Structures are given as C-alpha cells and as structure tokens.
Amino acid sequence: MNSRAPINRLDDLVFDNRFVRELPADPETANYRRQVGGACYSLVSPAPVSRPQRVAYSREVADLLDLSAELCESDEFVQVFAGNRLTAGMAPYAICYGGHQFGYWAGQLGDGRAINLGEVVNRRGERWALQLKGAGPTPYSRNADGLAVLRSSIREFLCSEAMFHLGVPTTRALSVIATGDEVIRDMFYNGNPKAEPGAIVCRVAPSFTRFGNFQIFAARNDLALLKQFTDYTIHTDFPHLGEPSPKVYVEWFTEVCRRTAEMIVHWQRVGFVHGVMNTDNMSILGLTIDYGPYGWLENYDPDWTPNTTDAAERRYRFGHQPHIAFWNLGQLANAVYPLIEEVEPLQQAMNQYAETFERGWQAMMAGKLGLVSYRPDVDEELIDELLALLQAAETDMTLFFRRLARMETTDDFLNALTAQSGAGFFGEAYYVPEQLTPDYRRRLSLWLERYVRRLQQDGVADETRRSRMNAVNPKYVLRNYLAQLAIDKAEQGDFDMVNELLELLRRPYDEQPGRELFAARRPDWARTRAGCSMLSCSS
C-alpha cells in the first residue's frame, strides 16, 4: 500500500472505472434526451456552473476517500465537486435504469440529473463510486432540467450523513456546493414557479445500482444485457457469492431480500419515512438511496407521509414501508426470473424477506423497550398497546423512547408514577395536552405497570438497561423543521446551521449538553409549514 498520508490534490485520486470498462456504453455521445437501448450508460459531462461556493462537506466521507482537510477547504475541491473541472482518471457517465413509480411501470428513467464521475479505490483498497447530483442534463433527463435546488441538496446531504451515524445503511454524501445559478421550481405544482438557488451534492456509495437497473433490461426483453449486468453486480457488489450461476442468482436475490428487510427495520426504528419508495429508488445493496421528500416521524403516526405528491393514496406512509419493500422485491423477482426460470426459489427468498423483517422488527422493538429479548407470549401485547397509546395522544416518538429509558424498576418508583399518572413523566413528548384525558392516563398507568413488571422479570440493572436503550433510541434526529431552519439561513448565504446540524448529527445517541434545543419537539409554527411537515417531489 502507498503511504497513509492524505491526498492534497484531487488529481492524485486513484480511479478504477469498472462500470464503464466492463459494461456496454451507449454509442451516441451527443447529449440529448432519448431512449437508450442495448447499453448500461451514456457518456456525458457535468455542465459548468457560474459561482460555486462550498456549503458543507463531511469529514468522515473525505476520510473514506483519503482527502486532506486542506484539500476539502480548497478552491480546487469546490470546482471539481461543482462539476466545473474533471480530474485525471474521471470518466463521467449517466446510468440507464427504469422503474415502477407509485405502483405503475414508468419505462426508462435513468440518471436524469446525476452524473457519475467514476470509482475511487482508496488506500484501504475500498471502491467508492462518486456521483454529482444536480450536475446538468443527461440523455435521461426527460422533460426536466437536470438540476437540483439548494433546499433539497442540503436535505440530501444532511440526511445521508445523519443516517450513517444512526447506523442505518445509506449512500453517503461528501459535499454540497451552491452553484451560484438559479433553478426554476414550482414547489407545489400549483402554477407558482420561482427562481431558487441551485446546488450539487457529491454522493458516495459502493454502487448506485437500483432495482430499476434490472427491470429496464427485462422490460426490453434484452436478456443478454440482463445477464451481463447481473453478473457484473455479483462480481463487484457481491463478490463473496462466487461465480454467477442460476443457483448463485437465487442466493444473490435472497441476500438482496435480507438486506432490504434489515434496512426497513432500521427505518422503523428511527422513524424515517422515505417518501418515494419507487423501484428506481431501491438500492441493490440495501442502502437508503435518493433522499427527496423524506421526513422523520414527530408524533408517532403510522399513516403519516411527508410527500404531498402521495397525499391521496399514502402509498409510502410510515407503516406501509415494510409492505412496499416486499412489493418492490416482487418486481425485482419478476425482472430476474429469466435468469433463474423457477418461481419457487424466488418465492422462498421473498418469504425470507418477510421472516427477516418480522424477526428483526420484534428484536428492534424489544431493544427500544430495553428488553433482553422478544418474548412473543407477552411482548406482542405489550408493544401493541404501546403503539396504540402513542397514537391515542399525539406523542413524539423520539422524545418518548428517550424518556422511557429513565424509568426505574422499583415498586416505589412505579407507585409514585402511577399515583400521579404516568403522563407527567413523558410531559415534553406530548403535542396536545388536552388529549391526556382521564381515560388515556388510566391506560398509560396500566401499561407502565405492565412494562415495569416485564423489566423486573429480565432483572437487568436500570443503568445497564438505560445505556442499551440510549444506544438504539436516538436523542437527535434530523427533525423536519430543523432542516428547514438550516435551509432558510442557507438561502440567505449563511451556512452555519447546516454545519451545526452536521456536527450535532455525528453523535445522535449522545446527550450533548448545551444542544438540547435541537432535541425539542416540533414547534407549533412548523406543523403546517411547507418543508416542515409537507414536501413535494419538486427538488
């Protein structure tokens, strides 16, 4: 291996661009919108921007790429990650994929505004693909401009890193750069277009391959390319599975099912709602990908979705995410069926998704409650009643579980608590005090008693249980209104709050004295404000 010293010039990054080397390219290199057949990608360069300015960068992702702090602070960094300059070894391209959008096959989609720069091999030998989102039109831009606005870029940047630090599988984000150019957006598609500041996020992941990559070749009945792309994916993203064969395709699909289940369990644990779980937004690696109109549950509500585009159907609401992931895997199974030609093993893999999710969800909920393990005979009811209570009075999910960790398991504590109704104990977690009716208080007291009895059976010391609970129940999440406040300031040219949130969210499970304000429940003004409780796909 080379020296461990970080890189000071981006030209020193080592690229090994397997994707373009091993997969067929679109022979057409002119940049106009079209259907691209018989190819996995089109060569296309980022469009130059006028006055790029660094908003923020992630030092953890810079470390993954061996970039020095000086380099990240340099003008060279800004120019390159704004798409104004390519460095030695970059080979920019846009990927062809399709997808089901809101349950319907949408045909060719592709990287309409993402331009891949190539794959960096870092000093540890890890391979990281770099991608600029919002870097200008590509053959896949359809009727859109290929650009991204600052608000959605900040949301993607902060959330990628927040999810990583929460322990949720995700694509990463190196940087967010304001372009200095304006982008026209009609935020709520209601005939009110306005100019907004543009920006570009540099995303980083082992690969950005989506379910829709496989679907497009199957839909076009291009089985040779379907096989070539699947073999490529197994070689690069799943090398431990060995040489592709029908048996290995099944093992591969089974692993995709398992990873997807694990990702969804994490989403349900932290209260993340993706908002647009179309099959083109599902990573083959089980990473959270494409942060658009996502949101974080504030009051626990399984029916909530932040996405106004989905307000009528609520297809992608919080409580429906496990089912939608299953449905999406079914679409992937259909796409890869020609490689396997047997329904039964694909069905079994789908069953594994359901089992992995079910077991994972139970273990996760037990963990949130501080139980040593999930005991179906008693814990199913305990959890059901808790989830009902969280909805009976609007209760902030994050605050509630953090507070619950402070419970003590002595009878004295319990008696004192239930005598004055447990509701006071969770005070700051409630949004509407009038909902704390005598009936609600009675139910809560009964539940608390049951809960404490259950903890007593486990016999774990309170301190030990508390630190276990605080390691899975975050104190700080990217509350929708916090992201919006940071965006409001950034749109005025002040990027401090973006960086403050980035710093905060590096340690989401720690108390972080002095920063408690960032853990507060959503203020009333944010209940109905655009960007805080409702978002559209416009970005």
Binding site for ligand AMP (CB under 6 A): 109-113, 140-141, 144-147, 276, 280-281, 290, 292, 537
> Which of 350, 535 has the CB closer to ligand AMP?
535
Judged by CB under 5 A, does residue 309 bind Mg ion? no
Q: Which of 110, 109, 213, 199 is nearest to 156 (CA)?
A: 199
- Options 11-19, 137-145, 193-201, 275-283: segment touching Mg ion (CB under 5 A): 275-283
**Closest chain position to ligand AMP (CB):** 112
> Which of 111, 301 has the CB closer to ligand AMP?
111
Binding at 164: pick from Mg ion, ligand AMP, none (beta carbon under 5-8 Å per type): none
> Which of 147, 297 has the CB closer to ligand AMP?
147
Binding at 147: pick from Mg ion, ligand AMP, none (beta carbon under 5-8 Å per type): ligand AMP
Judged by CB under 5 A, does residue 290 bind Mg ion? yes
Angle, vertex CA 116, rays to CA 115 and CA 119, nearest 5: 170
**Count helices and strands in the chain by DSSP H and E runs:** 17, 11
Judged by CB under 5 A, does residue 209 bind Mg ion? no
Q: Which of 87, 86, 56 is nearest to 73 (CA)?
A: 56
> Which of 112, 345 has the CB closer to ligand AMP?
112
> CA 191 to CA 187: how far, in whole Å?
9
Binding at 195: pick from Mg ion, ligand AMP, none (beta carbon under 5-8 Å per type): none
CB of 461 to Mg ion, least distance (A): 47
DSSP string over 87-123: PTT---EEE--EEEETTEEEEE---SSEEEEEEEE-T
Backbone angles phi, psi at 288, to 5 degrees: -70, 130
> Which of 55, 282 has the CB closer to Mg ion?
282
- Options 128-136, 186-194, 286-294, 511-519: segment touching Mg ion (CB under 5 A): 286-294
Site size with Mg ion, rule: CB under 5 A = 2
Contact between 396 and 476 (Cβ < 8 Å): no
Binding at 276: pick from Mg ion, ligand AMP, none (beta carbon under 5-8 Å per type): ligand AMP
CB of 212 to ligand AMP, least distance (A): 8
Judged by CB under 5 A, does residue 281 bind Mg ion? yes
> Which of 113, 465 has the CB closer to Mg ion?
113
Helix (H) or strand (E) holding 429, with range, is: none
**Closest chain position to Mg ion (CB):** 290
Q: Establish whether 280 is a catalytic residue.
A: yes
CB of 116 to Mg ion, least distance (A): 14
Binding at 110: pick from ligand AMP, Mg ion, none (beta carbon under 5-8 Å per type): ligand AMP
Candidate list 111, 231, 280, 310, residue with the active-site label: 280
Judged by CB under 5 A, does residue 111 bind Mg ion? no
468: phi > 0 → left, psi -120 to 50 → alpha, else beta; which?
alpha
Backbone angles phi, psi at 55, to 5 degrees: -95, -45
Enumerate residues 353-372 that contact Mg ion by CB under 5 A: none
> CA 469 to CA 324: how far, in whole Å?
28
Q: Residue 464 has which token pair? A: 């030990």
Q: How far from each other are the two terminal CA atoms of the chain, in whole angstroms?
A: 42
Binding at 56: pick from Mg ion, ligand AMP, none (beta carbon under 5-8 Å per type): none
Contact between 59 and 69 (Cβ < 8 Å): yes
- Options 71-79, 134-142, 175-183, 285-293: segment touching Mg ion (CB under 5 A): 285-293
Q: Residue 451 has which token pair? A: 């809960």
CB of 286 to ligand AMP, least distance (A): 17
Helix (H) or strand (E) holding 130, with range, is: strand 127-133
Binding at 112: pick from ligand AMP, Mg ion, none (beta carbon under 5-8 Å per type): ligand AMP
CB of 139 to Mg ion, least distance (A): 16
Inter-axis angle of helices 223-237 and 246-270, to 10 degrees? 60
- Options 49-57, 77-85, 280-288, 509-517: segment touching Mg ion (CB under 5 A): 280-288
CB of 114 to ligand AMP, least distance (A): 6
Judged by CB under 5 A, does residue 213 bind Mg ion? no
User: Alpha carbon of 487 to those of 271, 297, 493, 499: distances in Å?
Assistant: 21, 19, 10, 11
DSSP classification of residue 536: -
> Which of 157, 400 has the CB closer to ligand AMP?
157
> Which of 382, 487 has the CB closer to ligand AMP?
487
Contact between 121 and 127 (Cβ < 8 Å): yes
Cα Dmax for the chain: 76
DSSP string over 227-296: HHHHHHHHHHH-GGG-S--HHHHHHHHHHHHHHHHHHHHHHHHHTEE-S---GGGBBTTS-B---SS-EE
- The residues that are catalytic are 280
Binding site for Mg ion (CB under 5 A): 281, 290
